[in-house]
């Protein structure tokens, strides 16, 4: 197996694992299992979820009276930690190979950046627990995961291009609009994370109106205070109705803007003269449509867990599809 092939397989595995960790993280958060283990990095002082015998449960509940042991939630949280640790180990291997093997020297800088990011991501994971699901930490944890996924995917695209995959003639005119679409999507994902971490997804139980009106009572100032001090338990949310409504409505307005921008970019690529850009543009438009439908379904069906998790997963796939477009527009052919 040659260098490009082995590196390609390793990066494919890393990308898939990163995507699984992001989707599983969304599931853990949305199933209210984010504090299923009140300590870090273990769970009730153990590296493996305790069996939960009567005596053990009694001891754990005494140690953490504010967080009674729930085995299902604990396993969800620890499974996420195990897979996140596996991702960190994979990135560490990439970094070690890049510095120890001459064949991998081309990814030395990228793998080093990824290693620094994954270490910081681990710290964010710890703070997510120790700071009791503080919204700003949860949002940064989400964005950190997506950044790591995007960088791994970009490296994968580079190795795939050596095998004539994802190659296009490039289109310099499209680069700025694709980059803008990426920024808009990243901001919209941030708003989605803020909405979820503040438990504001159901602040508007109807669609397209909110609470029976187009402009309900809202408190934007209260809804977007990023830091509220220490020692606050954010599980279940701490904001009043007007603040949560402001967050939800901002996310909806952002969705309209993101839809217009991303749809424009997708159509520009669909009507380009390059076959690969046409194909990727079509994928972008399909994912955007699915994402809009999932957003509406979350409101109409009162946030069913499947639709809510899928909303997070499709957002990640939409991000990767735009990253693909940007890569193709840059023309990396030799």
Burial 243-282 (b: 16+ CB within 10 A, else e): bbbbbbbbbbebbeebbebbbebbebbeebebebbeebbe
How confident is residue 3, by pLDDT bands cut at 50, 70 and 90? Answer: low
Q: pLDDT tier at 1 (50, 70, 90 boundaries)? A: low
Spatial distance between the Cα atoms of 97 and 264, rounded to a whole number of angstroms? 41
The more confidently predicted of residues 161 and 307 is: 307
Q: What angle do CA 13, 101, 162 make, to 5 degrees?
A: 55
As a whole-number percent, the residues of the chain with pLDDT over 70 amount to: 95
- The answer on pLDDT for 221 being more than 70 is yes
Name the percent of the chain lying above pLDDT 90.
Answer: 76
Residue 331's pLDDT is: 61
Opening angle at CA 5, ends 110 and 104, nearest 5? 35
Q: Taking all residues of the chain, what is their mean pLDDT, rounded to a whole number?
A: 92
Residues with catalytic annotation? 77
pLDDT-derived band at 163 (thresholds 50, 70, 90) equals very low
CA distances from 126 to 164, 210, 231 (A): 41, 36, 15
pTM for the whole thing? 0.94
Q: What is the rounded distance in angstroms from the CA atom of residue 96 to the CA atom of residue 112? A: 9
Give the model confidence (pLDDT) of 223-252 as tens digits: 999 998 878 999 999 999 999 999 999 999
Is the preceding peptide bond at 158 cis, omega within 30 degrees of 0? no
Please give the Cα distance from 189 to 242 (Å, whole number). Answer: 22
What are 23-52's pLDDT values in tens digits? Answer: 999 999 999 999 999 999 999 988 999 877
Cα–Cα distance between 285 and 311 in angstroms, integer?
15
pLDDT for 121: 97
């Amino acid at each position: 197996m040659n260098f490009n092939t082995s590196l390609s397989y390793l990066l494919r595995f890393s990308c898939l694992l990163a995507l699984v960790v992001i989707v599983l993280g969304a599931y853990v958060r949305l199933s209210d299992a984010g504090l299923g283990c009140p300590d870090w990095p273990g769970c009730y002082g153990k590296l493996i979820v305790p069996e939960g015998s009567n005596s053990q449960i009694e001891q754990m509940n005494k140690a953490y009276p504010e967080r009674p042991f729930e085995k299902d939630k604990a396993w969800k949280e620890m499974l996420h930690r195990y897979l996140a640790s596996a991702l960190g180990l994979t990135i560490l291997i990439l970094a070690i190979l890049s510095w120890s093997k001459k064949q991998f020297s081309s990814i030395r800088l990228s793998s080093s950046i990824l290693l620094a990011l994954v270490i910081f991501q681990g710290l964010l994971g710890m703070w997510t627990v120790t700071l009791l699901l503080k919204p700003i930490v949860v949002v940064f944890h989400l964005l950190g995961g997506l950044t790591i996924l995007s960088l791994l995917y970009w490296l994968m695209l580079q190795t795939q291009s050596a095998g004539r995959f994802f190659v296009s003639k490039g289109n310099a005119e499209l680069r700025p609009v694709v980059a803008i679409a990426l920024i808009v999507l990243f901001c919209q994902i941030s708003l989605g994370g803020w909405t979820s971490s503040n438990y504001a997804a159901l602040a508007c139980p109807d669609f397209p109106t909110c609470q029976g009106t187009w402009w309900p009572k809202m408190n934007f100032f209260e809804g977007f205070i990023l830091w509220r001090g220490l020692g606050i338990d954010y599980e279940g949310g701490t904001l009043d109705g007007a603040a949560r409504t402001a967050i939800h409505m901002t996310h909806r307005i952002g969705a309209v803007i993101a839809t217009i921008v991303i749809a424009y970019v997708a159509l520009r690529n669909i009507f380009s003269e390059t076959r690969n850009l046409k194909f990727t543009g079509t994928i972008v438009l399909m994912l955007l449509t699915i994402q809009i439908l999932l957003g509406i379904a979350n409101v109409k069906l009162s946030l069913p867990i499947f639709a809510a998790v899928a909303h997070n997963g499709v957002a990640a796939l939409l991000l990767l599809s735009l990253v693909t477009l940007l890569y193709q527009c840059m023309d990396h052919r030799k």
